[in-house]
Chains A and B, each alone.
Chain A
Amino acid sequence: DIVLTQSPGTLSLSPGESATLSCRASQTVSSNYLAWYQQKPGQAPRLVMHGASTRATDIPDRFSGSGSGTDFTLTITRLEPEDFALYYCQQYTKSPFTFGPGTKVDLK
């Protein structure tokens, strides 16, 4: 299985600041089939980024993704109140399609 590790576990930030979330894979994620999901309490996850760097529908451009191989990053610039949430990365290149443990972006 491809094991995904996310860091940090928690990011405490203020609105207007930038967040940098990391996702590292135990083996190469072929074709950058790496997605990021945002989850708020009581809600289903929402696709934010796919193909490592392609924003999903209706995701604002303050979200950006980068990386390849085993190291990936989700960056959120100018944090808005609605961006404070849990973020999971997931690889969909090889079954089982594993998720990382998540990074919580919370309000400082």
Chain B
Amino acid sequence: QLQLQESGPGLVTPSQTLALTCAVSGGSITPGGHSYHWIRQPPGKGLEWIGNIFPSGTTFSNPSLKPRVSISIDASTNQFSLRLTSVTAADTALYFCARASGNFFPLSYWGQGILVIVSS
């Protein structure tokens, strides 16, 4: 059974960089067809798609966040990562990682989420 687990600091200082990692277990991250996503949910609000990456390294991101977002993948550790620069209080959210079976597939597997608070 595929499992995803987010990790990273739960508190980030404004203007700094938020860095999260998603560990994938129960399956290899390298089969080329799958895509790996980041989604966030501000407290009490809806879901916002941040971006995704394929094992090839190809990435797509939400234009609303694109200048600040970087997504990477590490096949050797079976993990993928999110970096969000210049954070503000508006970036406070529950961050989820998820996997789709490929391009034009829904998000079938989700991590449990990690709450990141941006505050000094």
Contact = CB atoms under 8 A, between A and B. Distances in A.
Contacts, number: 58
Contacts of B104: 31, 33, 92-93
Interface in B32-83: 37, 46-49, 52, 60-64
A44 B96 CA distance: 8
A43 B47 CA distance: 13
A96 B53 CA distance: 13
Contacts of B107: 35, 37, 45, 47, 90, 92
Contact of A92 (B47, B61, B100, B111): B100
Nearest to B103: A92
Interface in A1-54: 1, 31, 33, 35, 37, 43-47, 50
A78 B54 CA distance: 40
A92 B106 CA distance: 7
B101 to A, nearest CB: 10
A92 B112 contact: no
Q: How large is the interface on B (under 10, 10 to 19, 20 to 34, 35 or more residues)?
A: 20 to 34
Contact-residue size bin, chain A (C-beta under 8 Å from the other chain): 20 to 34
B49 A99 contact: yes
Contacts of B100: 92
A35 B106 CA distance: 6
A88 interface: yes
- Tell me which of A31, A35, A92 has the highest count of chain B C-beta atoms within 10 A of its own C-beta: A92
B60 A95 contact: yes
B49 A96 contact: yes
B46 A102 contact: yes
Interface of A: 1, 31, 33, 35, 37, 43-47, 50, 56, 88, 90, 92-93, 95-102
Q: Sorted from nearest, which 4 A-B pairs have the closest CB atoms? A: A35-B106, A44-B110, A50-B106, A96-B62
